[in-house]
Amino acid sequence: MLHRLVAERATGVLLREHGTLYLCDGEVVHAESPRTPGLDVLLTTGGALDTEAWREAVTLAGARRRVGRYLVDSGRVAEGALELCHTGALFDAAYFVLGPSGAPARFRYGAAHWLGPVRSVPVAALERETVRRRALLHRIWSDPATDSAPLIRTDRHAEPTVSARQGAVLDRVDGVRTASDIARALGRPAFHTLVDLRRLAAAGLVTTAPHPPTTTPGSPLPDPLPQRPHPHLSPLP
């Protein structure tokens, strides 16, 4: 579908299971995924922009689809910094959007993102980078479960030395957070967090949290509290 959209220089939004790609004249201009921090998180956490300035830009320029241009013209963000951060967020989200999916893709012609034009990326370059990233992760640690499952720290008496960057990731492994949660908490690209977590898994420091026990057929269900019948309903036999 992407190659056909490129050939016809389509403009609109491609909707997939793990996010969306916005195209303009057959090139990708924006990408979003629930598994990655958004551009706002990367800008505000990194200190390039404060939260109030971001909200102001969305309020004043969102309806005109000129948020990016407003940030630059008003002096809130330097144009080079915005392009760099936007391109990083685009590749980050596209990695998940272009990943394996069990749901069909849809394309909505004519749709445009409220951020407005910043910098476009050819689909071929996006595909190459996605394949490269997938191969890199596989070389580090071949089990992809650490990419999406809640994570726990392993019990080790003598932990190997980790970098400051990996240490910040490790400090947020609590049995509940996933890689995406940790990336948002740190304000870092999700793919970089996946790399750190797979290296930590390869070093034996991190593993996936065990699944909660499930009730087997025929086993009694727990009933910690007595259930009172609703006053307007007859009790079931």
Determine the Cα–Cα distance for residues 21 and 44; give it in Å rounded to an integer: 23
- Per-residue pLDDT, 217: 52
Please count the CA atoms within 13 angstroms of the CA of 51 that sit on its side-chain side: 3
- Per-residue pLDDT, 45: 87
Q: Are the C-beta atoms of residues 22 and 116 closer than 8 Å to each other? A: no
Please give the model's pTM, rounded to 2 decimal places: 0.85
Q: Are the C-beta atoms of residues 189 and 89 closer than 8 Å to each other? A: yes
pLDDT tens-place values along the chain, 237 residues long: 999 999 999 999 999 999 999 999 999 999 999 999 999 999 998 788 999 999 999 999 999 999 999 999 999 999 999 999 999 999 999 999 999 888 999 999 999 999 999 999 999 999 999 999 999 999 999 999 999 999 999 987 666 789 999 999 999 999 999 999 999 999 999 999 999 999 999 999 999 999 765 555 554 544 444 444 443 333 333
Structural domains of the chain, ranges and CATH numbers in brackets: 2-138 (no CATH), 141-208 (1.10.10)
Q: Are the C-beta atoms of residues 206 and 153 closer than 8 Å to each other? A: yes
Determine the Cα–Cα distance for residues 33 and 91; give it in Å rounded to an integer: 11
